[in-house]
Homo-oligomer: A and B are copies of this chain.
């Protein structure tokens, strides 16, 4: 099992300043969390840069975890994203990446194994307290390592 929190702490140190941690995973998807107090802006609400980072990283971490748990050695990058900021964030942050249908997951992993690369689009919703504050769509690419 991939230890995401340890990986982030060592490999992507900026995530620690934001207090980003694994927030759970089930059939509906994959979550990352971060406390508001480390991610404040000049208006006393959640900093847009932290929201963008948490959402982008959530889709990346979901994809990387899926690949690692399938026993495949591949790296994942974000290629494009679209973000809609809906309202100020006043509570702790939770990004949730919706898991695609299982047939799409199998197709993604099959393409990665057979052709050495795969790509897909993921939807992330970011809540602050109970409120939806950001809708994110990201397009990610995975490539087998040599």
Q: Which residues does A use to contact B, with CB under 8 Å? A: 7, 11-15, 17-18, 38-43, 47-50, 52-54, 56-57, 60, 75, 77-85, 88
A7–B82 CA distance with the chains assembled, in angstroms: 28
Question: What's the number of copies of this chain in the assembled complex?
Answer: 2
A88–B83 CA distance with the chains assembled, in angstroms: 21
What is the minimal beta-carbon distance from A19 to any residue of chain B, in angstroms? 10
Q: Known: A17-B17, A48-B60. Is A42-B79 also a contact (CB below 8 A)?
A: no
User: A85 contacts B78, CB within 8 Å?
Assistant: yes
List the B side residues contacting A85 at CB < 8 Å.
77-80
List the B side residues contacting A13 at CB < 8 Å.
38, 40
- Select from chain B the residue with minimum beta-carbon distance to A81: B83
List the B side residues contacting A81 at CB < 8 Å.
52, 82-83
List the B side residues contacting A57 at CB < 8 Å.
48-49
Name the prevailing secondary structure of the A interface residues.
mixed
List the B side residues contacting A77 at CB < 8 Å.
43, 48, 85, 88
- Select from chain B the residue with minimum beta-carbon distance to A39: B14
List the B side residues contacting A50 at CB < 8 Å.
14, 53
Chain B CB within 10 Å — which of A7, A12, A49, A82 has the most? A49
Identify A12's interface contact among B40, B78, B79, B88, CB under 8 A: B40
| 19 pairs of residues in contact across A and B, judged by CB atoms under 8 Å | A11-B42, A12-B41, A12-B47, A12-B49, A13-B38, A14-B17, A14-B47, A15-B49, A48-B77, A49-B54, A49-B57, A50-B53, A53-B53, A78-B85, A79-B84, A80-B82, A81-B82, A82-B82, A82-B83
